[in-house]
A and B are shown apart, each in its own frame.
Chain A
């Protein structure tokens, strides 16, 4: 039986998961005992007291105080235990240790953008050191999302207009899956990420290597930025149609908009489409892109435009 219950949960990889798992098993065990009792009673009564004739007489048993008080009070007490247990476990999930390493994560349709304290930036990969508490500070730039790592038993909604957080302490080197668990539209189920756990040493090396963000010529920076900013989730560079129009051959082309007018793709059109994509929607596409207003600098936009010019 224990095997079954253990099979139900992924392996726990953060200390706060233990209390959650123990409670999960406890409730399962109590429920199973009660369920088996209920099932046996049902089957036993159905057989033992099956109708033998249409004139069967049955006793008048209207109630029984002792019995009824017992089966009200005992479950109530069990419920109090469960409440207290769940409450203390949850307090642990909320109380971030003082020495936690902070990482900023922004959810937007349909990616997770990750920023570290030295300016390093990643997309859909959260690099963390092992055996050290990590606090993930969450924000959203469009609709609700929810940040869920089953291995750590943590989850929190990512709410536009406010900060929320989760914390964990990965206890082994490796990878853990991150899911978005608040429905956010077309690619909700592809809004995945990985927590990548390094040894403390590897983590520091990784940080240093990636510190300062993107590098190289403006075109090279632009190429890295369209990855990091999640543009490539919806825009291909090979002409294939994804959720948005492809970048290939975009520069200088003429686009027909939903209102029937046309525009030539120049710097200003591109800039507007990044900062406020809803202003001009290309025909046959939906207005689903998240505005990058406030999330991207002018210099970064310029670099991206330089890169797009090269995609002929």
Chain B
């Protein structure tokens, strides 16, 4: 890759490449057919395949959730048995965490968008990228085998010694998770390399889109934390299979050790899930307020801070477990430290809106929903970090509500923001804005009706993972169930209008939102090689005070079919701008 600094290379010839609105050649018209898709190394197609897989898993996990909520309409048995209920909540959790949230933003949207934001033609290791996808599929197959056998009833946390003794198919699922982990590790490695090595001329670290910064931080966590999960499930498998005493006290092991191992991965994993969401929020909020992001470095570096401190707080899931008192104290303290960078981001995003030019299109609506719901998730996280209070709240519905506010209200809502934002880019089609807004109302209202009551009943003492409950909690459970149906309706509407858009939607222009992001300076849908020139970047990705033309520069080549101005004109103009421009 060329490393020339555009601003001081007098001889570098750049010219403007305005993306055409009606591209005839796109990645969708190249390499058609099922086989071509399945063997493609194109990061965009792989991203789409992940998106489809994640959507299917989300539908399954969501259907399970509705069954769970329906069972909870009344205390004791409503329509399924206790053992079935225990299997359903386990699967719901495991699917949503491992198969939906972890891969959703990085592997699906990230795969599609991130190389384009770097002006690259693909990720650094395209074949490895495809391999990651198939490893993910293999992990999924193992999990489905478990379902076909005896299911899984340990909770997504696989706590020992229950999981050592359970008669369900624990080994199939742990092996599935083990395999899945490699997909995550390889994607992370691929992204880190891509971000270091494949940036287009002019994209310095200070001009990296915040989405890329977020994916960078995420990839670091993926690469460092996932192996620990792999080791943990491997040890568990060895204990079940070969009878090694590691975690089961009956075999001379220590059950609390398992929890340490598990959360050493799974706490960082919650940041694997949320940090990519942060990236999307930054992109969307700046585009829809046409304004430079406030505190670029604060947002970029706080992602890294979270990635690192996130490794040091796992013990806050174990305040009641019997871990040592010193550990408990230190973990509580560090938990508050990780809350701060999260709070800083929220303030920065709000400050970005100040004096902006705000357009409340669907992606922006989801950003607003995110800011509201995720704030609640963060505050309640602080609540749970406080030692004496957590003793009371641990393993109640309060915790259930907390992590749904951060994972669904945070990650999933961010995913929806990103999906609506980049949908025209990925498909070249527009969706029905009115229906999209209606759906967002269902999601927002449904979400709060489902999960707000859970805070209250949790604080009143309702434990989690309960099939039966004492009468006192009936009203809360019923409200929550009704909310979940509203959520279901919301997602069905989304499914409807997105499918409609795909097959019958109006064509989208190249850059329907007027974004300055580099990915928007390609056609929609993009060319097979993203850009048919090498983009050259002179401004930051959020410099809305600079004219659009200057975001469409590329190395001048002899053969180009696009309407270009003469190279010299562009260079001169650009140099004028450069003089009185400095990156904040």
Contact = CB atoms under 8 A, between A and B. Distances in A.
A72 B344 CA distance: 6
A183 B155 contact: yes
Interface string A220-246: 000000000000000000000000000
Nearest to A138: B322
A58 B356 contact: yes
A58 B355 contact: yes
B477 to A, nearest CB: 12
Nearest to A41: B350
A195 interface: no
Nearest to B249: A161
B343 interface: yes
Interface in B278-337: 289-292, 294-298, 320-322, 325, 328-329, 332-333, 336-337
A34 B375 contact: yes
A248 to B, nearest CB: 23
B360 interface: yes
Interface string B129-163: 00000000000000000000000011100010110
A51 B388 contact: no
Residue of B153, B154, B254, B290 with most chain A CB atoms under a 10 A cut-off:
B290
Contacts of A20: 388-389, 391-392
Contacts, number: 267
B467 A148 contact: no
B82 interface: yes
Nearest to A153: B392
Contact of B545 (A50, A58, A83, A182): A58
A162 B322 contact: yes
A79 B470 CA distance: 35
Interface in B174-211: none
Given A80-B336, A87-B387, A286 B82 contact: no
A179 B159 CA distance: 19
Interface string A30-49: 01001100110110011001
B387 A63 contact: no
Given A23-B389, A63-B298, A181-B464, A156 B336 contact: no
Contacts of B292: 58, 60-62
A166 B354 CA distance: 51
A193 to B, nearest CB: 12
Given A71-B344, A76-B340, A185 B162 contact: yes
Contacts of B25: none
Given A56-B290, A63-B584, A9 B460 contact: yes
Interface string B337-377: 10110011011101101111111100000001001100110
Contacts of B460: 8-10, 150
At the interface, is chain B mostly helix, strand, loop or mixed? helix
A297 to B, nearest CB: 21
Contacts of B254: 161
Given A49-B356, A58-B289, A181-B395, A82 B386 contact: yes
A288 B339 CA distance: 42
Given A23-B388, A79-B340, A90-B391, A188 B290 contact: no
B323 to A, nearest CB: 10
B2 interface: no
Contact of A27 (B255, B340, B383): B383
A11 to B, nearest CB: 10
Contacts of A156: 320, 322
A52 interface: yes
Contacts of A177: 461, 470
Nearest to B162: A143
B290 A34 contact: no
Nearest to B388: A89
Contacts of A9: 459-460
B372 A79 contact: no
Contacts of B456: 7-8
A238 B380 CA distance: 49
A59 interface: yes
A68 interface: yes
Contacts of A188: 86, 465-467
A180 B344 CA distance: 38
B290 A31 contact: no
B413 to A, nearest CB: 14
A38 B372 contact: yes
A160 B386 contact: no
A288 to B, nearest CB: 8
B505 interface: no
B59 interface: no
B578 interface: no
A260 B288 CA distance: 69
Contacts of A67: 351
A154 interface: yes
Given A46-B358, A50-B360, A185-B153, A146 B332 contact: no
Given A46-B360, A49-B357, A159-B322, A90 B372 contact: no
B261 interface: no
Contacts of B297: 63
B78 to A, nearest CB: 13
Contacts of B22: none
Contacts of B584: 60, 62-63
A169 to B, nearest CB: 16
B165 interface: yes
A79 B360 contact: no
Contacts of B392: 20, 24, 150, 153-155
Contacts of A286: 167
A73 to B, nearest CB: 9
A110 B549 CA distance: 70
Contact of A155 (B320, B329, B337, B543): B320
Contacts of B359: 50-51
A49 B83 contact: no
B356 A87 contact: no
B256 interface: yes
Contacts of B298: 63, 68
A58 B291 contact: yes
A61 B165 contact: no
A42 B353 contact: yes
B468 interface: yes
B350 A90 contact: no
Contacts of A204: none
Nearest to A59: B355
A153 B396 CA distance: 12
A96 interface: no
B243 interface: no
Contacts of B83: 186
A86 B332 contact: yes
Contacts of A57: 357, 545
Contact of B379 (A34, A83, A89, A182): A34
Interface of B: 82-83, 86, 153-155, 159, 161-162, 165-167, 249-250, 254-256, 289-292, 294-298, 320-322, 325, 328-329, 332-333, 336-337, 339-340, 343-344, 346-348, 350-351, 353-360, 368, 371-372, 375-376, 379-380, 382-383, 385-392, 394-396, 455-456, 459-461, 463-470, 514, 543-545, 583-584
13 contacts: A23-B386, A34-B379, A49-B356, A51-B290, A58-B291, A61-B294, A62-B295, A83-B336, A87-B387, A94-B325, A161-B254, A183-B154, A188-B467
Nearest first, the 9 closest Cβ-Cβ pairs linking A and B are A62-B584, A89-B388, A150-B461, A161-B249, A86-B386, A56-B357, A31-B379, A90-B387, A189-B466
Given A61-B351, A62-B294, A179-B463, 6 more contacts: A54-B514, A68-B347, A156-B322, A183-B159, A189-B465, A189-B466
